[in-house]
Structure 1
Amino acid sequence: MRGGGFDDGSTDRGEEPEDGAPDLDEFHQLLCSASRRRILYYLQEHPEIPLEELSDVVAGWKAVEENTVVGPRERDRIRVSLHHTDVPRLADSDVVAYDRENREVSLQPLPEPLSRILRESREYERERRSAGADEALPEP
């Protein structure tokens, strides 16, 4: 999935950056999913976490956003989605490491420009929440 349409001169089209980090296009594609953004936000403050705990965090965000209680069935759906979709997608892009056997997720080191984009995205969402925007984003 690397080597998309934006050529910043650091790699030839279609080649992976040498450090294994995603290119800018791929990183933005990762961030276009609210679930993946929130996983990364949480991992910035808790660099290694069991998948079960991460699913509780994501369920908590959902409960706050929808002003409801997330029941066991929905928690299971979230956990399965994290295990089979969101976390593997982040791992395929070398943004997180995922130990499937132990179900541990850990944030991989990101180049400073990508870390800055992630921090600024988090700040933007916090500002929107404090301004009374539609989408709430609880503190980790």
Structure 2
Amino acid sequence: MTGTNDSDGAPVNVERWGDTVTDDAPPTDQLFKVLANTTRRRTLWLLLDDPRTTVSELADTLVGWWATENAVVAPEDRERVATALFHVHLPILEDSGLVRFDSDDGEIRLSALSEPVRDLIRLGYRYEQVTGAP
């Protein structure tokens, strides 16, 4: 069965998944709850490309992304995004086992993810691109 294209335009073939979902993958409802939020979905998508970053770098990237979409971003938006990442989104991502977050130094690392989880992150990003809405 071939599904929607991923962000690179290649078909997503769910048959290749086989039994690749590992025991440490989050439960389905928890994974979709994580992916239901734009900030968390974009954070995961960015980490697929660069699996190690900091809260500061991630906040800069996300604010730049929103500035491109909305053309207006106030200086205080970066601090608001960094605060939300630190206190809300990164703890949720860490609790789900998708990232490792060191709150002492602000380092964020993508956890080892199974291919089905990676595909769902890519599909979420692609769906956002196709529909034009987060």
Give the equivalent residue in structure 2 for 1:10.
none
How does the TM-score come out when normalised to structure 2? 0.78
Which structure 1 residue ranges, 5 or more long, are not aligned? 1-16
Superposition RMSD in Å: 2.0
The alignment-based identity, stated in percent, is 33
Q: Is the 8 A contact 2:99 2:111 kept in 1?
A: yes
Asked if residue 109 in structure 1 is aligned to residue 97 in structure 2, the reply is: no
2:41 counterpart of 1:41: no
Query: Which aligned pairs between 1:1-140 and structure 2 lie closer than 5 A?
Result: 19-68=23-72, 70-128=73-131, 133=132, 135=133
1:63 shift after superposition: 1.1
Identify the structure with the greater strand proportion. Answer: 2
Unaligned runs of 5+ in 2: 1-20
**Higher RCO (Cα < 8 Å, 6 or more apart):** 2
How many residue pairs get aligned? The number is 115
- Residue 14 of structure 2 corresponds to none
Q: TM-score normalized by structure 1?
A: 0.75
What letter matches 1:98 in structure 2?
F
Moved more, 56-65 or 97-106: 56-65
Matched residue, 1:6: none
SS at match of 1:43: helix
Structure 2 Cα separation of the partners of residues 97 and 19 of structure 1: 17
CA distance in 2, matches of 1:56, 1:49: 11
Residue identity in the other structure for 1:94: G
